[in-house]
Amino acid sequence: MAHQAPAKAGPGSPGDSGGQESGGRPPGPAPRPRAADRALRQRAASVIPGGMYGHQSAGPLPPEYPQFMRNGRGARVWDADGNGYVDLMCSYGPVVLGHQHPKVEAAARAQAELGDCQNGPGPVMVELAELLVATVRHADWAMLAKNGTDATTMCCTIARAQTGRNRILVARGAYHGAAPWCTPRPAGVTAADRANLGHYEFNDLDSARSAAGEAGDDLAAVLVSPFRHDAGYDQELVDPAFARGLRELCDATGAALILDDVRCGFRLHLGSSWEPVGVDPDLSAWSKAIANGHPLAAVLGGDRFRDGAASVFVTGSFWFSAVPMAAAIATITALGEEGALEAMERAGTALRDGIVAQAAAWGLEVNYTGPVQMPYLTFAGDRDHALGSLFAAEAVRRGAYIHPRHNWFVSAAMTAEDIDLVLAATDQAFAAVRERLGG
């Protein structure tokens, strides 16, 4: 298993002296005074709109969730009050090898000593582009940016520039970022921002064909995620025939097939997430895991879209910072060298088997969906997420950091001890759900 926290001396492990490295408590049902978090929330309320915003806002979550986190190491994180958790959200995806992976952080520090934000990118930009092209089958070139939204937006812009067409098809309910063309919240968005979008249903080829028919000769691209991971819904793996059908549709119409690998990229496969399915996109969007938590995004593409990619003006003040690029090279190298993909699959399988067995033992009907490395749990018939929220709150209270309405992320740093701690917490969380339902 890659980068395991030392079994005896690691933070939060038995025998840990109260967490010298972490300065916090080990995960578990410890008393959790939340004085620091409460004070920070109060101060934030007057200087940050809404007190917090975006996907990491704890506002919509049960009160058991801390808002502010202090540090992380391996598969453990600590909140501002020093409470420890086994981390099953991995910063909502960026952390794949575990927090503070030694080789990634050493590479980042070495680059930081040379320089980060300069008048031009470092040599690491070319090294990273070469590594990405060598690692991802459909990639003949790479462009780098900061966030997943940069990457999905760039893919659409490149597809339009190359094809001279306007319309982009997206799956209904899919998340591709927070820009006006794709944000799930309508505030501040104009009809013009969405004017060139068409919709299809994930895994429904007929609906994609019909949306393509409506777009006619204005179809620039079909955008799709590797599997259906819409927040709050049971996840759905891709039907390979659907993936192949989208490829054929794009080949027949000249549109670009864009794979949004922002959430799944380098978690399921060391290459595009559709390589095991046997379907290569023309363009792909990446971010989250590619630099193990350092801010970086990438667009990868094939030669057919190289001219379009070269023609668009896309940039940002921090897009060419060298530190995240050095971190990405170390991350991708470690993913391969340390067997991290296999480690995540093993840990995810142990977690799934344990949780599904617990649910059955408590007589609870659950849906545990998605790849084991990115699972999501719902309770049958729990449309308003009341049981899911209770379950998550009880798990968090006992030191297993999961989410009630978003898929979880398993990192390669999870040890057998981490899995045991999670299962101890989820068993008690199921007990609370059983009690709520009676019996």
Ligand X SMILES: Cc1ncc(COP(=O)(O)O)c(C=O)c1O
- Is 272 a binder of ligand X (CB under 6 A)? no
- For the CB of residue 284, give the shortest distance to ligand X in the complex, in Å: 11
Tell me the residue number closest to ligand X, measured at CB: 148
- Is 273 a binder of ligand X (CB under 6 A)? no
Q: What is the dihedral of CA 267, 272, 277, 282, to 10 degrees?
A: 150
236-244, 257-265, 344-352, 389-397 -> range binding ligand X (CB under 6 A):
257-265
- Residue 60 burial by CB count (10 A; 0-12/13-18/19+): exposed, middle or buried? exposed
- Is 225 a binder of ligand X (CB under 6 A)? yes
Residues between 117 and 176 that touch ligand X (CB under 6 A)? 147-149, 152, 175-176
Using DSSP's 3-state secondary structure scheme, residue 333 falls into helix
Neighbours of 179 (CB within 10 A): 15
Q: Which residue has the tokens 């344990």?
A: 354
- For the CB of residue 259, give the shortest distance to ligand X in the complex, in Å: 10
Question: Measured from the CB atom, is 150 or 280 closer to ligand X?
Answer: 150
d(CA 254, CA 220): 8
Spatial contact of 205 and 241, defined as CB atoms under 8 Å apart: yes
Q: What angle do CA 239, 270, 154 make, to 5 degrees?
A: 75
- For the CB of residue 44, give the shortest distance to ligand X in the complex, in Å: 20
Q: Amino acid letter at 265?
A: G
Question: Measured from the CB atom, is 178 or 364 closer to ligand X?
Answer: 178
d(CA 311, CA 159): 11
- For the CB of residue 428, give the shortest distance to ligand X in the complex, in Å: 30
- For the CB of residue 147, give the shortest distance to ligand X in the complex, in Å: 4
Residues between 174 and 193 that touch ligand X (CB under 6 A)? 175-178
260-268, 273-281, 335-343, 359-367 -> range binding ligand X (CB under 6 A):
260-268
Spatial contact of 267 and 95, defined as CB atoms under 8 Å apart: no
Question: Measured from the CB atom, is 175 or 320 closer to ligand X?
Answer: 175
Spatial contact of 116 and 102, defined as CB atoms under 8 Å apart: no
- For the CB of residue 409, give the shortest distance to ligand X in the complex, in Å: 11
Q: Which residues contact ligand X (rule: CB under 6 A)?
A: 147-149, 152, 175-178, 225, 260, 262-263, 287
